[in-house]
Structure 1
Amino acid sequence: MSGTLIGIGADGRITLAHGGGGSAMRSLIDEVFLAAFAQDAAAAQEDQARLDLNALAQQGDRLAFTTDAFVVEPLEFAGGNIGTLAVCGTVNDLAVGGATPVALSAAFVLAEGLELAVLRRVVQAMAQSAARAGVRIVTGDTKVVPRHACDGLFVTTSGIGVIRPEHSISIAAGQPGDVVLVNGTLGDHGAAILCARGDLALQAQLQSDCAPLNTLVDALLDAVPDVHCMRDATRGGVAGVLNELAEDSGVLVTIKEASLPVHPEVEGVCEILGLDPLFLANEGKLVVVVPPCHAEHALAAMRGHPLGCNAAIIGTLQASPNRRGAVHLVNEFGGTRVLTMPSGEQLPRIC
């Protein structure tokens, strides 16, 4: 349907008319968004989504609700685009709480002059990611702002999920003796975005790790229902998650540098630029904390899933004096350094 959108000129770009509430806006919604997302055309015309409470109640006894805004430069990169990020990020925020994602909303802020072809690719990526995760995008909104008022396109997504009664996962539930795992290589997304910008002429062929993790989480919880903590490591990377875990659970987290899975090209980029993969963003990685008796079962469950084939045990939790949390990194020579909470932003506009 490319080229049929009302209000699109010969250059194929979004205009302010597409946010004005008239025929151009209706054409944008119908031909771009509803064409990709709507499963029920009549229901899609309403100002709200309507969900069956009985169907939700059959899946669990609590609702999980999350929201997030996504900004990234460039909008498209190896392994995905801002639409992939928006769906995967929201699905993963639900999944790491033990919730089965059910439905998402999506709000778009479009800059005047945005190429229609770019918008179509972003929306199609969202539809594909939602289908992969088994969720529906059921409602949304669109605004158009003057040129240069935003960097092309911003997306805000919210999601609801249902938590099964047997699960009670919290970042504050870590206990001394627990084991810390990750499901794969660290820092892939942050390194891929850095390379995609082209500012530093890096030749690494890196792809973002964008992925919906809910099926991996399902496999993990089926194998090990007694997961204490789980968190996806996005901004701030694994270092940020571990510091939140240490502070909120009041424990000492000790991780071994030799156990950290890092892609060789990510390691190379970090060495050149003086970065640490522990602080780089991920969009398809999670940190899991389980009792020691379940560590090997959890590792096997993750390695048995395509998104966990490089899973690894990276550390343990210990009692902390006065319950003041801290994170220690033990290097290959037995030396220890304190891994602090990230300060500032290493890479702007990464997610």
Structure 2
Amino acid sequence: MNILKPLRKRVLGRVHVPAVTLAHGGGGKAMKDLIDDVFVSAFAPLDAHVLEDQARFDLAALARHGDRLAFTTDAFVVDPLFFPGGDIGKLAVCGTINDLAVGGALPLYLSCAVVIEEGTKIELLRQVAMSMAETARSAGVSIVTGDTKVVQRGACDKVFITTTGIGVIPQNVSLGIEGVRPGDGILVNGLLGDHGASILCARGDLALDTEIESDCAALHELIGALLRAAPGTRCIRDATRGGIATVLNEMAEASGVSIDIDEAAIPLRDEVRGFCEILGLDPLYLANEGKIVMAVPPEEIDAALSTLRAHPLGAGAAIVGRAGSGEAGRVTMQTFFGGRRIVDMLVGEQLPRIC
């Protein structure tokens, strides 16, 4: 009888200095200790005994979820790293999950590559890694591989993160930005602009008494419920950089339709509206990290709205406009004052480094 030799349990290293040095990126024991102590301890199962240079998946297991893979990648350079309602770690996980989910995919696996500035506190890295791990676990997603690089002081601002995600698209799910049709309702799942406002307030450049929390959240469960209730949904996009205005322009141009929205129907909290008035910002261009824009056929709008509003991340859902057969690619808004104005795609940056 052959007896398999038991695998020797891998002993995780520990960092014994308070801040990152260039040696932590040098490929030796210091780097192993940093990866083990900060990242492996947060992301990997407690009995992890080996680390490979790649994650490995059973194709048959993936195929049980659907017939197509979805693959996305994103980089996160937000300033500051921690803000009301989130941090760069939570943002990286949620942002990548949402990029998969808006295509109808079930998010399954993430990678994490971290660029760290020399001198960054180890405790700060621990907080970021634990936030990523907790966000991924609560979303049912695994962080399965990654990379760490250390650069000299001044070459980056503390921490930059790149995450890549893999998901599986179920059969019969077909969402695309080119699918919007005249008559479709344009829906959002709640209050807009919170993330952009939160980031600017967190920088401390303005003496504002109101603390606005980011809407950073993973939306795959909400999207799954929406697609079950309104399977004819044409298109879903997350309104991150450039806000809802940029997403609407992309949808109108790709689908060859016009889109008309109603300013009075756009959900904004009073604090964000006042914040924008003080600073001369347009809330349509403010970034969101927990909001999606959906094009839904007329016969499914009621079902979509009721389903969204029944979920905590869609309680403020609203129909903000309609797609039409006017000039292709043109987005217009009915204003509070009864006039109409063109809503162009964002030119330049309203707020730097918001995600």
The two structures have a TM-score, normalised by structure 1, of 0.96
In the alignment, the residues of structure 2 paired with residue 174 and residue 126 of structure 1 have an alpha-carbon distance, to the nearest angstrom, of: 34
Match status 1:191 vs 2:200: no
Q: Could you tell me which residue of structure 2 aligns to residue 326 of structure 1? A: 330
CA distance in 1, matches of 2:119, 2:275: 34
Does the residue aligned with 2:346 lie in a helix, a strand or coil?
Answer: coil
Letter of the structure 2 residue corresponding to residue 326 of structure 1? R
Q: Is the 8 A contact 2:14 2:36 kept in 1?
A: no
Q: Residue in 2 aligned with 1:258?
A: 264
How do 1:183-262 residues align onto structure 2 when only pairs under 5 Å count?
A: 183-262=189-268
TM-score, normalised via structure 2 length: 0.95
Cα distance change of structure 1 residues 215 and 126 upon mapping to structure 2, 3 Å threshold: same
Letter in 2 for 1:85: L
In the other structure, the counterpart of 2:52 is: 46
Q: Which residue of 1 aligns with 2:342?
A: 338
Matched residues in 2 for 1:144 and 1:88: separation?
24
Give the Cα–Cα distance (whole angstroms) in 2 for the partners of residues 119 and 160 of structure 1. 24
Partner of residue 65, structure 1: 71
Mapping of residues 4-19 of structure 1, within 5 Å: 5-6=14-15, 8=17, 12-19=18-25
Q: CA deviation at 1:72?
A: 0.7
- Percent pairwise identity: 60
Counterpart position of 2:168: 162
Deviations 1:288-317 (A, max 9, x none): 111011001000111011100001010000
Cα contact 1:7–1:15 (8 A) shared by 2: no
Distance 2:246 2:54 in 1: 36
Answer whether contact 1:190 1:280 (CA < 8 A) is retained: yes
State the shift of 1:320 in Å.
2.8
1:273 and 1:42 map into 2 onto residues whose CA distance is: 51
Q: Using the alignment, how far apart are the partners of 2:267 and 2:346 within structure 1?
A: 20
Contact 1:209 1:282 in 2 (8 A): yes
Map of 2:280 onto structure 1: 274
Aligned CA distance change for structure 1 residues 144 and 301 (closer, same or farther; 3 Å): same
Q: Describe the superposition over 1:215-272 as per-residue Cα deviations: whole angstroms up to 9, x where unpaired.
A: 1001111111111010000000000100000110111100000100001111111010
Counterpart residue identity of residue 286, structure 2: L
2:15–2:37 contact (8 Å) kept in structure 1: no
Return the alpha-carbon distance in structure 2 between the equivalents of residues 202 and 119 of structure 1.
Answer: 29
Distance in 1 separating the partners of 2:46 and 2:52: 11
RMSD, aligned α-carbons:
1.2
SS of residue in 2 equivalent to 1:202: coil
Shift of 1:42: 4.1
Number of matched pairs: 343
For the pair 1:55 / 2:61, whether they are aligned, the reply is: yes
Distance 2:198 2:218 in 1: 18
2:98 is aligned to 92
Residue 307 of structure 1 is matched in structure 2 by 313
Give the gaps of 5 or more residues in structure 1: none
Q: Are 1:348 and 2:349 matched, yes or no?
A: no
- CA distance in structure 1 between the aligned counterparts of 2:336 and 2:92, rounded to whole angstroms: 37
Whether the 8 Å contact between 2:180 and 2:234 is mirrored in structure 1 is: yes
How far the C-alpha of 1:116 sits from its partner, in A, is 1.1
Q: 1:245 to 1:42 in 2, by over 3 A?
A: same
Match of 1:294 among 297, 300, 312: 300
Give unpaired runs (5+ residues) of structure 2: 1-12
Preserved contact between residue 92 and residue 213 of structure 1 (Cα < 8 Å)? yes
Cα distance in structure 2, aligned partners of 1:47 and 1:162? 23
Other structure's SS at 1:102 match: strand
